[in-house]
Amino acid sequence: MQNILKIIGRIGLVLTIIPSILFLLGMMDLGTVKWIMIAGTVMWLGSAPMVQKLNKAS
């Protein structure tokens, strides 16, 4: 369970960083970047607290 949450968190962080770089390079539309970054933020904010609780418990 903990490994899956870590993977989800890392994917979420990637989804918040990569779209902004692609937008700066002119490879993505602003609307698309916003939706991808929102999804990444939700993924990361949803998984990070759970990973911390599991780390504290073990």
| Other C-beta atoms lying within 10 Å of the C-beta of residue 37 | 18
Q: Is the pLDDT of residue 58 over 90?
A: no
* Residue labelled with tokens 């607290």: 49
Contact assessment for residue 47 and residue 5, using Cβ atoms and an 8 Å cutoff:
yes
pLDDT at position 4: 95
* Residue labelled with tokens 């939706």: 35
Residue spans of the domains in the chain: they are 30-58
pLDDT digits (tens, 9 = 90+) for 46-55: 999 999 999 8
Angle between helices 30-57 and 2-24 (to 10 degrees): 150
Two structure tokens written together for 55 = 């780390």
| Other C-beta atoms lying within 10 Å of the C-beta of residue 46 | 13
pLDDT digits (tens, 9 = 90+) for 1-36: 889 999 999 999 999 999 999 999 999 999 999 999
pLDDT at position 57: 85
